[in-house]
């Protein structure tokens, strides 16, 4: 079935308010879910005009659009409503990429192209469909952010590459005026972010999706706001990290870059489909320190081997997505996202997830983030959890120079950080950071704040560790990292076999296998290993299976869905040297 038929189904359900677009897309059978999601979202944005064109052309009553003739040309599932099938086809024909790749189904439109084009231009002239143009402007009003994947290239390499293409790096401005300059970028200018290391900003509407640097994984297209959580967690190379809700993986790859691929990341997510994307990101970005696990994080026992040593945890759970700028329009779930009942449910789920993370015995730094603007999902969660865990954890006063803090009226407000679309030209976002009371974690704690110190902790974008250079020509990504990792693991196993008398399999023996779903961690083949001989990951897996059955707090029981799509993300702070402290500065960078 073509993507247009899948889109037709989803458009119908979305417009009849049977579910959120994201959920509908991810539960569909369509292979290329990203493509489907984009097609549905774009079509919805133009729906008023598309319906007008449909009505004016009377297209559905023209030859070719009845069931019989359609079925002569291609297979259309019985449950497809032709009205909704026309919408994505018309969208691609008039506004999108054209119908070049639509196959025979394109004839439904191209057979009548004279009529369609004439009607389109007539309605435009009569300003009947001017709303379309407005929408396009809104849609692309945010800058295009690009994170340098420091596992594959240095910031300087990437800047050079863009300069060679004719881009001009703007540096002649006061750092405190960054956001103003950002707003007025000309077509060929770009900027280096003053807060997030390795983040570049290009003018709104710049499309790098098919750029070779993106294809090769040397850069990642990630929104500015979504770079903050990993940047704030800042796990040192060699540390042990958990990313509780990892897919599609922008923050996981950012964490790996911060850690310079040293140490271990355990990346959990409930969604197999989304983990496929995560695995692709990992392969493309040459991330080698991450183990991916399809599991409900709530079912993971924090005390079992493999988890008991985890020190840094990122909690970036599903949320309403109300901060995502592109979503704030008539077609998405705004009504749904603000429904009190739904927010309460999300809030409860987020709180339990955060509490679970804080119960990891070695946890010393836990960052909580959402791309929601609602207090229920942000300050209220942090307030409740910080009170419950006040004996062990306290909130860190993150990025003191950042003036937009949490919403007033909570004890936690000033320790939280918010990003706002109008002020910061990025998606609406929320971040808070818990640190172990006895830990200093390289930064000020709630109790330590004093005004003189505020200027001193400002990180700069100079603290990049130099990475290997980009090859002179665009570097192809490693094709199937999962498989090559497996080979390496096998070799290692062989050599170890001779001398091995260990009871437990070591962590190094774990590998991510590209099995059917590409996400399950490889099972060790030796059947004779009993439970007590399981590797860390197998132990986690076993435990998770058991706990799933009985855990009444399993997030599935909470029936929470959405927003799983804060999927514009990026990389950040590579410490210059493990032992050296971060550079400080006195900038105000908002």
Ligand X SMILES: C[S@@+](CC[C@H](N)C(=O)[O-])C[C@H]1O[C@@H](n2cnc3c(N)ncnc32)[C@H](O)[C@@H]1O
What's the distance, CA 163 to chain centroid?
A: 28
HSE-CB of 232 using CA atoms within 13 angstroms: 31
Q: Which of residues 307-346 bind ligand X (CB under 6 A)?
A: 316-318
Query: Which residues are bridge partners to 169 per DSSP?
Result: 190
Whether 371 is a known active-site residue: answer yes
Nearer to ligand X, 226 or 283 (CB): 226
Start-to-end CA span in the chain (Å): 48
270 part of the interface to ligand X, by CB under 6 A: yes
Instruction: Please tell me whether residue 432 adopts helix, strand or coil conformation.
Output: strand
269 part of the interface to ligand X, by CB under 6 A: yes
Query: Which residues are bridge partners to 221 per DSSP?
Result: 146
d(Cα 92, Cα 202) in Å, to the nearest integer?
26
| Binds ligand X (CB under 6 A): choice among 250, 347, 427, 572 | 250
- Count of chain residues binding ligand X (CB under 6 A): 26
Nearer to ligand X, 48 or 554 (CB): 554
Q: Residues within the annotated binding site for S-adenosyl-L-methionine?
A: 245-251, 269, 296, 316
CB of 475 to ligand X, least distance (A): 23
b/e sequence 452-469, b meaning 16+ C-beta within 10 Å: eeeeebbbbbebbbebee
| Binds ligand X (CB under 6 A): choice among 296, 375, 457, 538 | 296
Which residues have CB under 8 Å from 204's CB, separation 6+?
140, 141, 142, 143, 144
CB of 448 to ligand X, least distance (A): 29
| Binds ligand X (CB under 6 A): choice among 13, 311, 401, 566 | 566
Q: Which of 70, 307, 319, 371 is catalytic?
A: 371
d(Cα 47, Cα 52) in Å, to the nearest integer?
8
Part in contact with ligand X (CB under 6 A); list of ranges 87-95, 248-256, 303-311, 400-408: 248-256
| Binds ligand X (CB under 6 A): choice among 120, 297, 360, 397 | 297
Nearer to ligand X, 269 or 286 (CB): 269
Closest by alpha carbon to 229, among 267, 248, 255?
A: 255
d(Cα 146, Cα 568) in Å, to the nearest integer?
10
d(Cα 324, Cα 404) in Å, to the nearest integer?
17
Part in contact with ligand X (CB under 6 A); list of ranges 111-119, 129-137, 417-425, 566-574: 566-574
CB of 246 to ligand X, least distance (A): 5
Part in contact with ligand X (CB under 6 A); list of ranges 45-53, 239-247, 420-428, 487-495: 239-247
CB of 165 to ligand X, least distance (A): 28
CB of 319 to ligand X, least distance (A): 6
In DSSP notation, 121-187 reads: HHHHHTTTTHHHHHHHHHHT-S-EEEEE-TTT--HHHHHHHHHHTT-EE---S-GGGHHHHHHT--T
Catalytic residues: 371
Binding site for ligand X (CB under 6 A): 226, 244-251, 268-271, 274, 296-298, 316-318, 555, 563-564, 566-567, 569
């Amino acid at each position: 079935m073509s993507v247009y038929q899948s889109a037709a189904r989803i458009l119908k359900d979305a417009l009849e308010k049977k579910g959120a677009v994201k959920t509908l897309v991810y539960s569909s059978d369509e292979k290329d879910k990203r493509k489907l999601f984009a097609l549905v979202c774009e079509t919805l944005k133009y729906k008023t005009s598309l319906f007008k064109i449909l009505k004016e052309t009377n297209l559905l009553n023209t030859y070719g659009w009845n069931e019989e003739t359609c079925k002569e040309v291609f297979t259309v599932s019985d449950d497809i409503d032709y009205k909704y099938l026309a919408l994505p086809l018309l969208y691609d024909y008039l506004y999108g990429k054209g119908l070049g790749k639509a196959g025979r189904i394109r004839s439904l439109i191209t057979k009548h192209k004279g009529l369609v084009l004439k009607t389109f231009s007539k309605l435009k002239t009569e300003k009947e469909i001017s709303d379309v143009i407005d929408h396009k402007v809104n849609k692309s009003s945010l800058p295009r952010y690009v994170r340098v994947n420091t596992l594959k290239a240095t910031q300087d390499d990437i800047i050079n590459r863009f300069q060679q293409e004719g881009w001009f790096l703007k540096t002649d401005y006061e750092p405190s005026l960054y956001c103003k300059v950002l707003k007025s970028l000309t077509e060929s200018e770009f900027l280096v972010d003053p807060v997030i290391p390795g983040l570049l900003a290009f003018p709104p509407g710049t499309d790098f999706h098919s750029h070779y640097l993106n294809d090769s994984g040397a850069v990642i297209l990630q929104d500015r706001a979504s770079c903050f959580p990993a940047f704030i967690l800042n796990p040192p190379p060699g540390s042990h990290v958990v990313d509780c809700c990892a897919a599609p993986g922008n923050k996981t790859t950012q964490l790996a870059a911060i850690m310079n691929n040293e140490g271990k990341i355990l990346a959990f997510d409930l969604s197999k489909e989304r983990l496929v994307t995560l695995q692709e990101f990992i392969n493309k970005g040459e991330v080698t320190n991450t183990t991916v696990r399809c599991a409900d994080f709530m079912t993971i026992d924090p005390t079992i081997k493999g988890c008991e040593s985890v020190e840094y945890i990122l909690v970036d759970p599903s949320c309403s997505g109300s901060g995502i700028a592109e979503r704030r329009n008539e077609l998405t779930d705004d009504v749904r996202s603000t429904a009190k009942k739904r927010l309460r449910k999300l809030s409860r789920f987020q709180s339990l997830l955060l509490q679970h993370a804080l119960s990891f015995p070695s946890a010393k730094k836990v960052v909580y983030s959402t791309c929601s603007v609602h207090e229920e999902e942000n300050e209220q969660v942090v307030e409740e959890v910080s009170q419950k865990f006040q004996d062990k954890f306290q909130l860190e006063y993150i990025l003191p120079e950042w003036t937009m803090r949490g919403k007033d009226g909570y004890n936690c407000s000033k320790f939280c950080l918010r990003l706002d679309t109008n002020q910061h030209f990025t998606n609406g976002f929320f971040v808070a950071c818990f640190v172990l009371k006895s830990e200093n974690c390289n930064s000020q704690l709630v109790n330590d704040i004093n005004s003189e110190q505020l200027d001193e902790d400002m990180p700069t974008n100079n603290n990049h560790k130099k990475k290997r250079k980009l090859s002179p020509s665009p570097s192809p990504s490693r094709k199937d990292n999962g498989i090559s990792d497996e080979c390496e693991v096998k070799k290692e196993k062989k050599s170890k076999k001779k001398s091995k008398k260990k009871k437990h399999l070591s962590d190094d023996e774990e590998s991510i296998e590209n099995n059917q779903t590409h996400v399950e961690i490889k099972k060790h083949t030796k059947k004779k290993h009993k439970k007590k001989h399981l590797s860390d990951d197998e132990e986690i897996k076993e435990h998770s299976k058991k706990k799933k059955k009985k855990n009444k707090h399993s997030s599935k029981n909470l029936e929470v869905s959405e927003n799983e799509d804060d999927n514009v993300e990026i990389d950040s702070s590579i410490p210059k040297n493990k032992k050296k402290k971060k550079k400080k500065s006195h900038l105000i960078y908002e």
